[in-house]
Structure 1
């Protein structure tokens, strides 16, 4: 910051200077003052440089965007239902299997022996019951003995059915159709009841669940088409539909569940993949749109800055001196850059798509709005549009100096 001498010491210092030195100081101060101001320089320096874009009619689509993770509709853990040693493994990871297909076989010697014993006991019980039935008809067998033999027969029938069921458990079968995602056993392993053997995943279809804010409850509907872009697949897109909308809103998060369904015959989609889902729920073919960067959100209102031409200002000619002392105008005048003023407009916005926003009220077609530099302007601020071409001020010839 410059330092100034007090008035009296300055006067005494100047008094000690000789006249020639005093003239030199005055001349130097005059030169440092910058001379006369060129008309328009102050205005040009005060104008804020901005970039603008014109409002135009375009087609705009209303989208809801969200992220979700793909999940398999069917995902089953195949467990052992009996104890035994693994004798055969008939499938491997990645293989497609059908519901009921045999996946592995366990040692069945013990279960076959139990089945044979149950069968023999059942035959014995059947013979005893047949004898009691004849006796009851001839009224020589007590009723209590008949009932005992009948119950024994029913019990042995249940034992035989249980032994047959245990034998069937030695053949491990697929509970659902799908792809073998994981194999957890090896040949010769002794498996126990309820031990995990395989994991089967149904890849058709796959589902992704969106947690949507409740304000969009009336926007999304079952059956609407959706599109998912997968980051891991170089943003490749896949089409799907909204399978169902949850009938309730979660009070804790204020969201509801929208389940989207995707079918991919190429098997490119995998459970666990992360994707970005877009739902196009409406489209306007002749909407007035502006760039999203032009919108200013403040105090709960949306506004834009529209540029309007500033009041015209006279351009001063560049004047030089002729040989005879006459004042003549310069042959070429300096180009003058057009300036504008920024006017704030409250607008009503509509749909937004990408970097475009629909304007339903507040801006007319063709009006230019500030996109870059809007944070530096206020209502009435003089601005300079950077991409505008300069206007050439015509040369003016001055009359002879008097």
Structure 2
């Protein structure tokens, strides 16, 4: 048994020696070219990347900040005479014109006092005219003429006040606006300067936002702007106010954009997104998929130089374009931008640039 194992081992050894000797004596297949190049120390072929020659475009830089709608004016409507409310002439939510009455206060004896003041004025006028005639003929002293004139003028003032009291019985809106609240009902007793209700002026309406210290220096009254409400409504307006002092709690500056609001269709207190164009600048518009990261996390793109060398270029993200692409700053006006293969090349590496076909 042991002798048979020895014979088998000897046969296997003999075949192995013959196979090795056949390779040495008669040669084999030629080595692959890459192996020959590597053995000879030649550099590997440059990787191929797709490149687009791109020119910078003018981009309208814009400041986007959250805001809200706000009535241009809110006033407290107040009574100018005292008395019980006799009639309600406008309901809450009514669109009022300047001078339109909201409620009426009972006249009581005010109309009688007006009649009395009117009669007294006529009496004083006759007395004054008579005194002037007598004084002209020398039958009346200058002092008596002055007395009758003073009495006549006092009667004029008394009648004006009585007429004003009667006119103020109707509490009228001083502006065009919406009657937001009404604090009096029929039978309520109004004191002088008592609050009748609140009127809001919604046309034009203001879009209020707050700009940071860095951004406020680029804004000024008269600049155009836009706003978008949550329901998608787009509004165009003009900046009418930029605060000169920051709000103490937020260190931001109040900005007011005035927007036409015919029919009061835009209400007070709606959330809005405000866009304020601040400047035009040159930038490159690229797909977000072209962006890449450096080892330190810096965002940038890969470029190909004139000598075929790849270079990483850091960029500034300036904003989004309507088509979903991104605006990039910090690049030369003309670049050879790597659009395919940017993740497989490194800084300073030689590449073979294949120009992108024209669209």
| TM-score when normalising by structure 1 | 0.59
1:289–1:359: 8 Å Cα contact kept in structure 2? no
- 2:87 maps to 88
Match of 2:188 in 1: 189
Please give the secondary structure, in 2, of the residue aligned with 1:63: strand
Counterpart contact for 1:129–1:149, Cα < 8 Å: yes
Count of paired positions: 285
1:242 is matched with 238
Q: 1:280 to 1:369 in 2, by over 3 A?
A: farther
C-alpha distance in 2, partners of 1:165/1:185? 22
Distance 2:262 2:128 in 1: 60
1:107 to 1:273, Cα distance in 2 relative to 1, 3 A = same
Which aligned pairs between 1:3-402 and structure 2 lie closer than 5 A? 61-216=60-215, 219-231=218-230, 233=231, 236-246=232-242, 248=244, 250=246, 256-265=253-262, 267-282=264-279, 287-289=284-286, 291=288, 294=291, 303-304=299-300, 306=302, 345-347=313-315, 349=316, 351-353=318-320, 356-361=326-331, 364-367=335-338
**CA distances 1:53-102 after superposition (whole Å, capped 9, x unpaired):** x9987975422011222111232221101012211112112221211122
State the shift of 1:224 in Å.
Answer: 4.1
Unaligned 5+ segments in structure 2 are: 1-50, 305-309, 349-359
Deviation of the 1:294 alpha carbon: 4.9
**Distance change (3 Å), C-alpha of 1:297 and 1:149:** farther
Distance 2:92 2:312 in 1: 64
1:268: Cα distance to partner?
Answer: 3.6
Cα distance change of structure 1 residues 179 and 138 upon mapping to structure 2, 3 Å threshold: same
Q: How many Å separate the matches in 1 of 2:245 and 2:295?
A: 30
Query: Secondary structure of the equivalent of 1:276?
Result: strand
Alignment deviations for residues 100-132 of structure 1 (CA, whole Å, 9 cap, x no partner): 122222111321122122223223322332332
Encode CA deviations 1:149-207: one digit per residue, 9 max, x unaligned: 11111111101111100110001211011222112111121111111113222221100
2:199, 2:294 → 1: CA distance? 51
Secondary structure at the counterpart of residue 66 of structure 2: strand
Alpha-carbon contact 1:203-1:267 (below 8 Å) kept: yes
Q: How far does residue 282 in structure 1 lie from its aligned partner after superposition?
A: 5.0
Q: Secondary structure at the match of 2:99?
A: coil
Q: CA deviation at 1:254?
A: 6.5
TM-score (norm 2): 0.65
- Post-superposition Cα deviations, 1:347-366, rounded to whole Å, max 9, x if no partner, equal 4x363227724134279444
Contact 1:292 1:357 (8 Å CA) reproduced:
no
Equivalent residues of 2:221, 2:242 under 8 A apart: no
Q: Runs of 5+ in structure 1 lacking a partner?
A: 1-53, 309-341, 381-402
After superposing the two structures, state which structure 1 stretch, 243-252 or 115-124, moved more: 243-252
The answer (yes or no) to whether the contact 1:307–1:368 under 8 Å persists in 2 is no
Deviation at 1:142, TM superposition (A): 2.4
SS in 2 for 1:270: coil
